[in-house]
Amino acid sequence: MANVVGVAMGSISDWPTMRLTCEVLEKFGIPYEKHVISAHRMPDELQAFGRSARNKGLKVIIAGAGGAAHLPGMIAANTTLPVIGVPIKTRTLNGVDSLLSIVQMPYGAPVATVSIGDSGAKNAALLAAQILATNDQSIQNKLADFKHDQRVEAKNSEQQFD
Ligand code: RP5
């Protein structure tokens, strides 16, 4: 099956976080491709990726970046596909820099921004799955099972009271 999600990250140093995105995509059986695309070091590759994404069959793009995190916004500037931004946690400002850089897109190039770090990385994959599920019954069923399982797990956690 052709890849439907493109996962981009600004540096290989983002991989420990973005790996979590990929693991959730795999759990839902969603074919994806992954790339390191540094917005400030690889501007030509960034533009080519954004402009070719729809034609090569991608449906959603997930982009993770840290610091002055312009990768998700610059991809959004080059495609009409939905772009989900993952703010990578940074050592200097704990990822608040990444969050504000990604979430504060001006009108015209939206980026659906998730939370900083690991939860955000996993939620980005879930959000992509939910977008794809609007037109894919099999992913929709897997999402329903996932929600059921997490509800049962939360309810059963009462047994852990001492
Ligand atoms: C951003 O700068 C990347 O997304 C990464 O989070 C951060 C640091 O990159 P490296 O200096 O580790 O390559 O472009």
pLDDT digits (tens, 9 = 90+) for 14-57: 999 999 999 999 999 999 999 999 999 999 999 999 999 999 99
CATH number assigned to the domain comprising residue 60: 3.40.50.1970
If you measure from the C-alpha of residue 38 to the centroid of ligand 1, how many angstroms do you get, rounded to a whole number? Answer: 8
Name residues contacting ligand 1 (CB within 6 A): 10-11, 13-14, 38, 65-67, 88
Number of domain units in the chain: 1
Q: State the residue range of the domain holding 114.
A: 5-160
* Distance in angstroms (rounded) separating the CA atoms of residues 98 and 54: 26
The whole-number pLDDT of residue 1 equals: 82
Is the alpha carbon torsion for 9, 14, 17, 19 positive or negative? positive
Per-residue pLDDT tens digits for 59-107: 999 999 999 999 999 999 999 999 999 999 999 999 999 999 999 999 9
The whole-number pLDDT of residue 153 equals: 97
CB-based contacts of 77: which residues, under 8 Å, 6+ apart?
Answer: 50, 109
Confidence of residue 134 (pLDDT cuts 50, 70, 90): very high
**Mean pLDDT of the region 3-11:** 98
Tell me: pLDDT of 162 over 90. no
Which atom of ligand 1 is closest in space to residue 64's alpha carbon?
A: 4
Q: Given ligand 1 and candidates 9, 12, 14, 45, which is best to mutate, with the most ligand atoms within 8 Å of its CB?
A: 14
Predicted TM-score (pTM) of the model is 0.97
Tokens of 96: 């608040």
- So what's the ipTM on this one? 0.95
Tell me: pLDDT of 123 over 90. yes
Q: Given ligand 1 and candidates 7, 9, 13, 91, which is best to mutate, with the most ligand atoms within 8 Å of its CB?
A: 13
- Residue 94's CB is within 10 A of a number of other CB atoms, namely 12
